[in-house]
Amino acid sequence: MEKLFNKSGKLKGLILVVCTLLSTVSYGQFSTEQDTTTNVAPQPEEATVAVVAVADSIPEVPDELIADRLKCLEKNVQLTFNKKIRGFIDYFTVRNRRYSVVMERRKRLYFDIFEEALKRHNMPQELKYLAIVESGLNPKAISRAGAAGLWQFMPSTGKIYKLKQDQYVDERLDPYKSTEAACRYLKDLYNIFNDWELALASYNCGPGNVRKAIRKSGYKDTFWEIYNFLPQETRGYVPQFVALTYTMNHLQDHNIFADSLEYPIRFDTVHINQYVNLDTFCEQLNICKDEFTKLNPAIKRNYLPDNYPFHIRIPSDKSEYFAMNKLAILDESSKRSGDEIDDELSQPPVQFASTKPASENKSHGSATAQKKKVYYTVKQGDVLSKIADKFEVSLSDLKKWNNLKGSTIKSGQKLTIYKGGLVMEKPTLAKQTESNKKYDPHKKVYYVQPGDTLWTISRSNNIPVEKLKKLNNLKSNEIKVGQKLIMS
């Protein structure tokens, strides 16, 4: 059939210029009929895109040829051809060719993920084009209504399909987890209507609105039978899906070529279950932060907190280095910048006796503490002893400040903490001299200074972290200011 149209006429180069100029018009509305205005797919965030047609003309493609091509593409999802579909095809192949170029450029980043998940769920492969309609293949896309990610999950729907959303991560932005959720959601919708067009419509407006349209129309078989009773946005949603399915499979037939292609970064995953400053983590691995963000778009903050199990993706070429230096890298990345303390409210300094055990105070001279009163909100997975360690206070004092008889705490509970450094009385000359100096190879001990970590101490004194921990019987990487470390 297609051979019959090989000699169809072509518009001159002037039309290409006019259409390219038209494509720069504000993207957002496109009328497929004189009396119908419908929202179209999201605008790519690129401000400018290179010229999208290598040839000097945009081909004229007859309706019969497009209908024939759609029939050849049709497998499990019906790809109807009509005036509305033709209008959207013209939009993506003539009026806004640059949008199609950006989709061609990006599709290799995500289509393998989509195809693998769809195959695993035994679903039609053409459903991968729905993500173009939803987000323009932008994993960070967030709509005005609050839908987010490649598949534009609303917060409530995301929770139903087990996409974690809290102050640290939003799994709606994770390409793998959101694709898995989208497959399950679409499959559930198909099981309700037993029709992929109706399932797609309900993905956009909800199954309740589709049922309502079915009741009003008196039909229940196809999308086009209930078309006039659907919300206006949904009337353009399924036609856009059909038009983009066609466009992405026939770009070259419309003289549309991508000026560059994007490919996914090969990665491995590493399990993290401790506080990690992500800027420091990237510096330690010599990873560009933008590259890290592309691999981990679900992370919302610049850090991950304690006791927060998470799988971080790192480039594959950094995996061996990380494995060999894991303890040192995580130790250096565990330095806190203070932004992980939630609901911290500053109060006037309050005088308190030293919160350190008497035996510890005896080692460093008598002390009083100038402390600042702060509040900490308990998170899921928090343990009282870990909170005490985080703020460098004793467990007994933490209990006393909050009238706790045991160690049981609940998520959302607010704890009062008196945080700050000890105001030390002058130690003896010998200890003062030792504590103010960096490690001297002729000395056998080192007193921990403010800001020190095992990693920085080991690096500046040429002693492995593991050896340092063994010499001092340390089971973790936690150390405290004034603590005496045996160095040899």
Q: What is the DSSP string of 213-242?
A: HHHHHS--S-TTTSGGGS-HHHHHHHHHHH
* pLDDT tens, residue by residue, 18-27: 344 443 333 3
Residue 237 lies in a domain: yes
Residue 261 lies in a domain: no
Considering the domain architecture, whether residues 27 and 52 belong to the same structural domain is answered as yes
Give the ranges where 43-129 is alpha helix by DSSP (H).
63-73, 83-90, 97-120
Residue 439 lies in a domain: yes
Considering the domain architecture, whether residues 15 and 142 belong to the same structural domain is answered as yes
Considering the domain architecture, whether residues 389 and 449 belong to the same structural domain is answered as no
Last residue of a domain, one of 333, 358, 374: 333
Instruction: Find the CATH number of the domain harbouring 98.
Output: 1.10.530.10
Number of domains in the chain: 4
Residues 478, 389: contact at Cβ < 8 Å? yes
Considering the domain architecture, whether residues 477 and 380 belong to the same structural domain is answered as no
* pLDDT tens, residue by residue, 116-138: 999 999 999 999 999 999 999 99
Q: Which of 33, 45, 46, 134 is catalytic?
A: 134
Residue 259 lies in a domain: no
CB atoms within 10 A of CB 399: 16
Q: How confident is the model at residue 417 (pLDDT cuts 50, 70, 90)?
A: confident
* pLDDT tens, residue by residue, 76-87: 999 999 999 999
| Lowest mean per-residue pLDDT among 8-12, 99-103, 311-315 | 8-12
Burial class (CB in 10 A: 0-12, 13-18, 19+), 189: buried
Considering the domain architecture, whether residues 55 and 125 belong to the same structural domain is answered as yes
Domain containing residue 469 = 427-488
Last residue of a domain, one of 425, 443, 460: 425
Last residue of a domain, one of 425, 448, 470: 425
Higher pLDDT, 372 or 227: 227
Residue 134 is among the residues annotated as catalytic for this protein: yes
Residues 448, 364: contact at Cβ < 8 Å? no
Considering the domain architecture, whether residues 21 and 159 belong to the same structural domain is answered as yes
Residue 260 lies in a domain: no
Considering the domain architecture, whether residues 97 and 215 belong to the same structural domain is answered as yes
Considering the domain architecture, whether residues 189 and 227 belong to the same structural domain is answered as yes
CA distance 213 to 220: 9
